[in-house]
Structure 1
Amino acid sequence: MEGLMSITTSAWSETMHQVPFTAELDDRPESTPPRTLTAIIPTVGRRSLKRAVASVSRQTWPTTALVVLDRPENAASVEKLLQGLPHLLVVSPGGLGGAGARNLGVRSARTTHVAFLDDDDEWVSEKAALQMAVAGEDTVVSSRSLLVGSTSRVVPERLYHSEGDQAVPVVDYVLDRSTLRLRRHFMQTSSLLCSRDTALQVPWNQDLTRHQDWDWLARLEAAGNTLRMLPEVLVRVHQGSTGSISRSADWQASSRWLDSVGPGLSDRSRADFLTSVVARGAFASGAWNQGLRQLARGLRARPHAAAVVLAVSGMLRVGEHGS
């Protein structure tokens, strides 16, 4: 049994009372069913989950919080943690990882649309309403985010555009390293919303240990979906969290993912990624020969200067640790 849906009577009752599924545009024909939304939240049971679910309960658009627990032994503690907050709980067999848990959540949802929320992030109360206003059957919606850490900043600095003079493939947008400010371009899981049909047709890749969101965006676009980014800051992304549901990863996983990306990726974006992510990661892990090899591959394709600087920073990290 791939997932067990757990709905306590009190939780279901609260959901129905606090989140009535009556939101419907007045000019829609009576035969058109109302659009409804589920927030899919994968977790292993971290305490930050309570903050994430609470942010869903504050949405101005009726939204169901569907928690996918990927560590079954924590079911009782999660229910205790979320006591008083409207939610549905799906318990996986365990070990699915972030992508597998999101796919299980999509299959378990019973709404027209789904959105994704990491258990250490939170939504601004208007997120669902603003995104549902522009979401279509084949339109995936993102937004700006606030990165919260030792300092806070709004990302991305440059919005993604799928049309007009600034239009580029989404994978080129997220991999661009034309500046040392790594958050100039940004599109992250907790900002994404789409129709449930779209998420069923293009599931998350469960074999990946890194770059799951970038991979999903690239495949969504390749399948003919339109990606739209709103200028509003609708997500708070908390940095430095530990114990994530995502599996551990290294530079080799990044290299394998890059090799799997199709011809839609430009040579320069590929070069940027090879130098700033793969080579830098290899250097930082002490794999000097592989780092030099990946750096040489990247340099042949002429990456941006900022990407090369980032690769060199991986060398410096090794030097600092060894001194």
Structure 2
Amino acid sequence: MSQVSAIITTVNRKSVIKAIDSALKQEDITMEVIVVVDGGNPELIKMIKKSFGLNIKLISDEVKHGGNWARNIGISTAKSKYIALLDDDDYWDTTKCRKQLELIEQNGTDNVVVFNSLKTFGGVSQKIYPKISYRPGIPVADYLFDRKYKGMIQTSTLFASKNTFISQPFDEKLPKHQDWDWVIRAYEKGIKFIQITTPLTYYRINQDNSVSKSMNWKYSYYWIQSKRNNMSLRAYHSFIVGLIFTYISCSDATFWGKKKIMIRLYIDNKISIFSKIGQIGILKIILK
């Protein structure tokens, strides 16, 4: 039986071929590779089968359910003790799963998530994230959103036992913030997070129109309100000023309409003008 199952979810990206190839080329470890095509795509399915044949397990549904459905289906189908998640526009270093497996077995198998740093590609220059490493004891939501950490825990870096993922399934109703939502809920259930600071995942930025499509500020605002009790006030305000204000500035609202929305959120959430975050918020309101 394989040691690790790679769960690769895809909709309609030919870049999935590189993702699959990177999973199959993991060194010093036996891999099961499961590819879930969400929404079906005969041309893409044909390409995958032609490229990899029986070396992978292919799951497809003509109805598009969403990324979290695809992850849950892949996880439930997996035969290995451990699961590694991979998005279709990213790929792995050949040593990623071996290093994560070694670390997780040193720290107990269940209720532990190992994630790693990543290197971006597809933009003007390559960058390594996160800039500040995660330390045990830091609330995950604070690590992700507080400006003093500016942390990053991304789907294609996640590695845990199948039991851990089964006990904390992905929320299939979420259209966005899927990885953030999962890691916050997992942390609140007592699951331990450990980081490998070496960049072992290559993360594509500015792929297609994924950035512009994600900028629904109202949904993001309602989502962060639902997580308010899972983070400090500073992290909550950092999310609003850093992300929500950016989404508003890219919205279809008028110039003055954007400013009015930002001012309302600033006041409603009692962001202090004397705090560093508050001052950044004021600058964004003035300059956007």
TM-score normalised by length of structure 2: 0.87
* Structure 1 stretch displaced more, 80-89 or 229-238: 80-89
Q: 2:264 aligned with 1:293, yes or no?
A: yes
Partner of 2:147: 177
Distance 1:208 1:227 in 2: 22
Partner of 1:94: 63
Partner of 2:25: 58
Relative to structure 1, the CA distance from residue 217 to residue 314 in structure 2 (aligned partners, 3 Å threshold; closer, same or farther) is farther
Relative to structure 1, the CA distance from residue 171 to residue 62 in structure 2 (aligned partners, 3 Å threshold; closer, same or farther) is same
Partner of 1:187: 153
Distance 2:4 2:89 in 1: 20
Relative to structure 1, the CA distance from residue 101 to residue 299 in structure 2 (aligned partners, 3 Å threshold; closer, same or farther) is same
Relative to structure 1, the CA distance from residue 175 to residue 223 in structure 2 (aligned partners, 3 Å threshold; closer, same or farther) is same
5+ residue gaps, structure 2, are: none
Distance 1:176 1:51 in 2: 34
Give, as a single letter, the amino acid of the residue that structure 2 aligns with 1:45: N
Pairing 1:101-116 to 2, within 5 Å after superposition = 101-116=70-85
Distance 2:66 2:274 in 1: 32
* Structure 1 stretch displaced more, 77-86 or 95-104: 77-86
Partner of 1:142: 115
Partner of 1:83: 50
The CA deviation at 1:309 is: 3.0
SS state at 1:152 partner: coil
CA RMSD of aligned residues (A): 2.4
Relative to structure 1, the CA distance from residue 123 to residue 300 in structure 2 (aligned partners, 3 Å threshold; closer, same or farther) is same
Partner of 2:86: 117
Pairing 1:268-307 to 2, within 5 Å after superposition = 268-285=234-251, 286=253, 287-288=257-258, 289-300=260-271, 305=276
Q: 2:121 aligned with 1:153, yes or no?
A: no
Relative to structure 1, the CA distance from residue 303 to residue 153 in structure 2 (aligned partners, 3 Å threshold; closer, same or farther) is farther
Relative to structure 1, the CA distance from residue 281 to residue 82 in structure 2 (aligned partners, 3 Å threshold; closer, same or farther) is same
Distance 1:116 1:304 in 2: 38
Are the aligned partners of 1:276 and 1:307 in contact in 2 as well (CA < 8 Å)? no
Distance 1:311 1:142 in 2: 35
Give, as a single letter, the amino acid of the residue that structure 2 aligns with 1:171: A
Distance 1:236 1:54 in 2: 13
Number of matched residues?
274
Partner of 2:97: 128
Identity %: 26
Give, as a single letter, the amino acid of the residue that structure 2 aligns with 1:256: Y
* Structure 1 stretch displaced more, 216-225 or 299-308: 299-308
TM-score normalised by length of structure 1: 0.78
Distance 1:268 1:219 in 2: 19
Counting helix residues as a fraction of each chain, which structure ranks higher? 2
Q: 2:138 aligned with 1:168, yes or no?
A: yes
